[in-house]
Amino acid sequence: MSALAPQPANRTRRLVECASLSADELVAHHHLPPSGEITGRKLVVTFAGAFEFQVGRSATWVDSGRILFARSGESYVDRHVVPGSGHASLILTPAEATVDELWGQADHGRVRAGSLRMHMLAQLLRRASQPLEAEELAIAMLAEAFSERREVTTNDHRCVRLAKEAMQDCEEGRISLEVLAAKIGVTSVYLTQCFKRSEGMPLYRYQTRLRLARALDRLPEADDITDLALDLGFSSHSHFSAAFRAGVGVTPSHFRRVARHQDRCRADL
């Protein structure tokens, strides 16, 4: 009998380290949920996958639509709730002086809604080749943290969490409200009302945001934008481009060009 292949370990990569803040990229596999004690105040932007951030008996859903704020001294575990799926996140740890300058006395709570611009900045930060560029992108992410005014709840209703799990597990983004509600065991009306209260947006807009966050992650390596658009569940190149530009502020081809330029610069170092 052949030995089982070793499971891959979680990976962390330091992106920024300066007096103002530090930034790390974490890739956590589904079989290795991160856990431990938080050191320093942190802002977590998840650009792939999803997890529940559990502190004591409180568990908060985190995915590409939300920004997580973690407090120093908290003992936590990131519970992976989508079968076979881990998560990838950028973790920013600002110095207290940076927090005071950018956020002041703002009450950020446990989670806030995250903008698609935040995800664009995160993808560019992952590819930054120069320290100055990386530091500026990280500070821009901290400044962006309070730009989204949509309210989200810390503790979702069970049916909302199950709906999010189903949409995370549906890579191509094609799932109907009727099928989703039946899968969860509630009515379509009940699900739509619960979801809107929890996420501050209807299901179809949440689904579109998931697609666009995935697009930001996959665009730099995509050879054909139309094929990527169809893979993500958009009806056409023009449909995808319009949604991307409305959410991110630039066209898909522009973002891909900038990201690829950064990749080439990193490769030349």
Domains of the chain by range and CATH?
Answer: 11-144 (2.60.120.10), 158-268 (1.10.10.60)
With cut-offs at 50, 70 and 90, classify the pLDDT of residue 170: confident
pLDDT of residue 1 exceeding 50, the answer is: no
267 pLDDT above the threshold of 90: no
β-bridge mates for residue 67, sequence order: 45, 112
Residue ranges in the chain assigned as alpha helix (H): 96-102, 116-127, 131-144, 158-168, 177-184, 188-199, 203-218, 225-231, 237-248, 252-268
* Mean pLDDT computed over every residue of the chain: 92
CA 255/CA 125 separation, integer angstroms: 13
Q: Per-residue pLDDT averaged across 253-263, rounded?
A: 94
- Give the pLDDT band (50/70/90) at residue 172: low
What is the per-residue pLDDT across 19-35, written as a single tens digit (0 to 9) for each? 999 999 999 999 999 99
Could you tell me which residues come within 8 angstroms of residue 252 by beta carbon, excluding any fewer than 6 positions away?
215, 219, 225, 240, 241, 244, 245
**Strand duo 51-55 + 42-49: pairing:** unpaired
What percentage of residues in the chain have a pLDDT greater than 70?
A: 96
Q: What is the mean pLDDT of residues 218-244?
A: 95
**Per-residue pLDDT for 173 more than 60?**
no
pLDDT of res. 149: 86
End-to-end CA distance of the chain, in Å? 45
Out of 8-22, 122-136, 158-172, 230-244, pick the least confident: 158-172
- Give 97-108 pLDDT, tens digit per residue: 999 999 887 777
Is the pLDDT at 3 greater than 60, yes or no? no
pTM: 0.91
- Tell me how many degrees the CA angle 79-85-89 measures, rounded to the nearest 5: 70
Instruction: Indicate if the pLDDT at residue 142 is higher than 80.
Output: yes
Provide the percentage of residues in the chain whose pLDDT is more than 90.
Answer: 81
